[in-house]
Amino acid sequence: MSSAHLNGFCWFVGIDVSKQTLVVAWLAEDQQVVETFSNDAQGHQAILQACQQRPPHRIVLEATGGYERPLVAQLALAGLPVVVINPKQARDFAKATGRLAKTDRIDALCLAQFAKAIQPELRPLPDEQLQRLKQLTSRRDQLVAMRTAEKNRLQTEPVRAVWKSIQKLIQTLDKQINIIEAEIQHLIQQSPIWQQHQQLLLTVPGVGPQTASTLLAHLPELGRLNRRQIAALVGVAPVNRDSGRFRGRRSIWGGRAQVRKILYMATLTATRYNPILQAFYQRLLEAGKAKKVALVACMRKLLIILNAILRTGRPWNPQACPNHPDSSRPVVATSSLAEETATLVGATSLC
């Protein structure tokens, strides 16, 4: 088949990624092509050449723990429409279309079908600096988790030799955490935008350097979306569970786990030291809400506040809130969470 004939089709591409190989499936009308390439520079170049012969409308890959990143970078650099999706999306799509078997070839074809049927929205890929910041913050979280595990082992009162080994390892982890934290702050200081955003985030009681750097790295959309979009993206928006007359309990689902984890810890502090969230938390408890439900609601409120602060470029100002006890402004009941948050940052609208 000639290149000219191939170019007459609208191709959708699915790529199944593993450590050693890349299985690439092309779909176009009644045409189907599946090829295997090595997951290295030579294989990436071969895929780029194949894409010139079969210009793709969408290229879909799963996030596979980093094995896809070099290829995605090459595809994006070539200006190709590449989208990285959550593996759960791909598996749910496969089940919905009756594909129960799982092989590399089947997965690649399923991803190509996903690209053709769903045509996921193209999103800007993180640049090299953002990728570096994400890796540094993830490594810091890993080291902190290891340190916590070692400190918990000390509670079991081990024999002296084990106790000394644990103490030495904790000291080593402390040093590594400090080194990584210094690298993170140095990287942030190199970017005027990150530096400004970090300064704005740190004005909010309950938000510390770790929370700020995690939000900058893993939630670059913060400040660019409206309150509903940012809450859904992080996974703190309640999801309905209704069917017929049945009204199920609303619960949060999906989203970015790493952001939600750091936001949870920040909210624990904010409900004690942030006057607005402290009052909001107490109101929910007095209304009969469970503590966990009230805490998740506070997570969403804190996220909306942070989103509004970055959108407006104005620091935290609790005195502007009409419900704040120290405010000189008259107390006026706000009609919605969006209006109250807008008042906090002096904005007139969040949407």
Sign of CA dihedral 276, 278, 279, 280: positive
Q: Is 332 left (phi over 0), alpha (psi -120 to 50) or beta?
A: beta
pLDDT band at 181 (very low <50, low <70, confident <90, very high): very high
DSSP 8-state secondary structure symbol assigned to residue 241: -
Express each pLDDT in 45-87 by its tens digit.
999 999 999 999 999 999 888 899 899 988 988 889 999 998 9
Q: Which two tokens stand for residue 234?
A: 């992080």
Q: Which two tokens stand for residue 336?
A: 């919605």
Distances (CA, A) of 98 to 25, 73, 92, 106, 122: 18, 32, 10, 12, 27
Express each pLDDT in 274-292 by its tens digit.
999 999 999 999 999 999 9
Provide the 3-class DSSP secondary structure of residue 177: helix
Asked if the 3-118 domain carries CATH number 1.10.10.410, the reply is: no
What is the predicted pLDDT for the residue at 349?
A: 33
Average pLDDT of the chain is 86
Supply the pTM of this predicted model: 0.73
What are the DSSP calls for 64-104, one per residue? Answer: -TTTTHHHHHHHHHTT--EEEE-HHHHHHHHHHTT-----H
Express each pLDDT in 2-57 by its tens digit.
333 445 678 999 999 999 999 999 998 888 999 999 999 999 999 999 999 999 99
Express each pLDDT in 304-350 by its tens digit.
999 999 999 999 987 765 455 554 443 333 334 444 434 343 432 33
- The answer, yes or no, to whether residue 127 has pLDDT greater than 90, is no
